[in-house]
Structure 1
Amino acid sequence: MNPGSSYPLDGIDNNAMPSEAEPDTTQQQIMKVMDAAAFNYARILNLSDIRTSDSNELYRFLKSETCSSVEHSIFSTNRKSELAELFVNDVPVIFGWGVNQALIPFAKNAMESLRINNPLGILKPNTRYSYYHPLPRIYVKQLEWVQHVTSQITRTQQGCADV
């Protein structure tokens, strides 16, 4: 969805070089999946670069006039070359931006840009673009999300081994 409360430890925002960061709780959920799947590396591409831990603040921004005048999404048309530099093909891709209606145009953009045939994550029933966020408010649901995505990765890896 967005960088949340994560921040670079070196204090340099918009750094062109990789830097270590203080993870937020959503990123910690991804790290749990990584541990369970024995992955050493993950790249998180957010729908928006707007850093706020208050999702309602992000939704207000996405509905505002300012939103259309700022290139805040890696999936916007004018940032295709930047996306091409960051996106890695032929690796498992997890969708998990959330189900708020304000995200749908950005989720649609991301899905059309990436063209992933079998994304991982939990798609909200009867929707095309709404994937449940890795950090549901209910703790048990957080565990279920990690278990579900980990099992999807395991099935994908087994399928590749069977070929």
Structure 2
Amino acid sequence: MMKFYIARISLLSLLMLTAAPVALAANTATVTISATVLADCSVTVNQSVLDIGRIAVSELHDKAKNAALDGMVGSVDVTSKCGDSTRAKLTVSTQTVADKSIVASSPSGVEADVMRFGLKIDDKAADFDDASKSVTSEINDENLSSDGHKDTLTFSGLAGANSGKATAGSYSATVTVKVEPE
């Protein structure tokens, strides 16, 4: 019978020890809830189609990968506005990137890496990230909320890895320009 009481007392002690944290818990708790209100932003471009020129197939065949294509340059003006903010980020993204440049689709719509497009933002080289397929530029401008911030995106033609397989037709790519408040 003594063993029974010792086992019972041991079990009761064990239960009290495991229940102790519950007994010590407070009877109230506080949760802080927050939300961030961001400035409204907009972006406009002065043209939605940009033709950077023409090149003969034979001239493209002779170019090394990433070689600049003479005279094939064009620019788009971008105006960003964010109400009640002086800081934002401008992101340019595309579908296919190789060696930090945009890969153009061939006339048949296939990405054959015959031609690429390089990008400069306000005369500064803008290298695309191969994983995210985008490049981001920080905006810090007191006029961002009033007159807006102006950037110039300059695109230049480059020979692709398969430029020797070029055929006649239009090579193109699309970029998306986005502005977000910081």
Superposition TM-score tier, normalisation by shorter sequence: under 0.3
Name the structure with the higher strand share: 2
Taking structure 2 as the reference length, the TM-score comes to 0.24
Higher RCO by CA contacts (8 Å cutoff, separation 6 or greater): 2
**Which protein is bigger by CA-based radius of gyration?**
2
Query: Normalising by structure 1, what TM-score?
Result: 0.25
